[in-house]
Chains A and B, each alone.
Chain A
């Protein structure tokens, strides 16, 4: 039991890390990774939704009739997304403004619905939570990594959380503005994917 629990949790961190191994949910990945902070914020919000929707769907998996299961999943996911939206608006307002419509759009993030359909609807609540946490954490790490690359090259800084500059390039550094604009997101993700392939297929 403990072993399979660990397995479900860790697979999200490497073997099935989204969005690299599972090419799903690209939109928020590309859109919000202008900085590490945005990436982490988006990742945490998505993880919250993933964990709770997985838990609830797994608990209700024998009650939900299979014909309307997708509709039920969508209602459950949308409810948690709205909770996240309201809570973020109330307590982390600046981040809420930066992420904009990508918070409500967690609803249509294929990762969340994908995990509900592929995992939570077939497994018990404990495993489903582990799965949600693992995938969510993997997603957060990917977002933070891409955010770090883009922020570092495009702005010359690395900020984990507001008011906590970890690193700043000297005045001689000319920021590579391309990286924080739209095209930089595509190219950055494409090259990171290439790197993952290089490491993965030794």
Chain B
């Protein structure tokens, strides 16, 4: 139990997926201009990442590793993630329209969000057990949401500031992200 807690902490803070591992940066910069979209994206990622992490783990252990087909990992993972996203979208549309209204537009973007594919690959590379994979997927997703929402909060303030013209938009966004990454670096050595 203690180990799982440490694992969760390290996935959320120390190895934060956006700021330390550099995965999922396109939506990080793309959806952080408004708090509302940032929250939507964060929720959608938590939802899909946990599902994808577990499904790809089962697929890898019971199919790919069992039949020595590891070289098909990239192809099969991306197909699983793409169809999972489609499926989740259809399911939400039919059964939980309220949630769909909130997450709907973010779901298609998630297929090419490398955070999802990245965490699935990390789960396999680090040889996690099923429970560990579940914890790490969830914790990485929470870390993603945390960084994204923090960043969106800062960015809303930047909109009010006077930024030199060449630095505007993505450029100042990246510099700000760098400073937030610096604060996250202080978590290093905690575990």
Q: List residues of chain A with CB under 8 Å of any chain B CB.
A: 23-28, 30-31, 70-71, 74-75, 78-79, 81-82, 85-86, 101, 104-105, 107-110, 113, 178, 181-191, 193-195, 197-198, 201
Contact = CB atoms under 8 A, between A and B. Distances in A.
B167 interface: yes
A195 to B, nearest CB: 8
B75 A194 contact: no
Contacts of A78: 74-75, 78-79
Contacts of B165: 197, 201
B181 A74 contact: no
9 contacts: A75-B79, A105-B121, A183-B179, A187-B179, A190-B171, A190-B175, A191-B171, A194-B167, A197-B168
Contacts of A23: 26, 29, 170
B75 A185 contact: no
Closest 4 CB pairs of A and B: A190-B174, A186-B178, A187-B178, A31-B22
B34 interface: no
Contacts of A81: 74
A177 B56 CA distance: 37
B174 A201 contact: no
Contacts of A184: 178
B75 A201 contact: no
Contacts of A31: 21-23
A108 B25 contact: no
A85 B73 CA distance: 11
Contact of A82 (B19, B75, B185): B75
Interface string B83-104: 1000000000000000000000
Interface size range of chain B in the complex: 35 or more
Contact of B75 (A75, A186, A197): A75
A26 B24 CA distance: 8
Nearest to B166: A197
Contact of A197 (B83, B122, B171): B171
A31 B19 CA distance: 10
Interface string B161-191: 0000111101111111111011011000000
B181 A183 contact: yes
Nearest to B168: A197
A82 B73 CA distance: 9
B129 interface: no
A105 B117 contact: yes
Contact of A108 (B29, B112, B177): B112
B66 to A, nearest CB: 19
B35 interface: no
A46 to B, nearest CB: 13
Contacts of B113: 108
A195 B165 CA distance: 11
B118 A105 contact: yes
A74 B166 contact: no
B170 to A, nearest CB: 5
B178 A74 contact: no
A82 B74 CA distance: 7
A23 B121 CA distance: 24
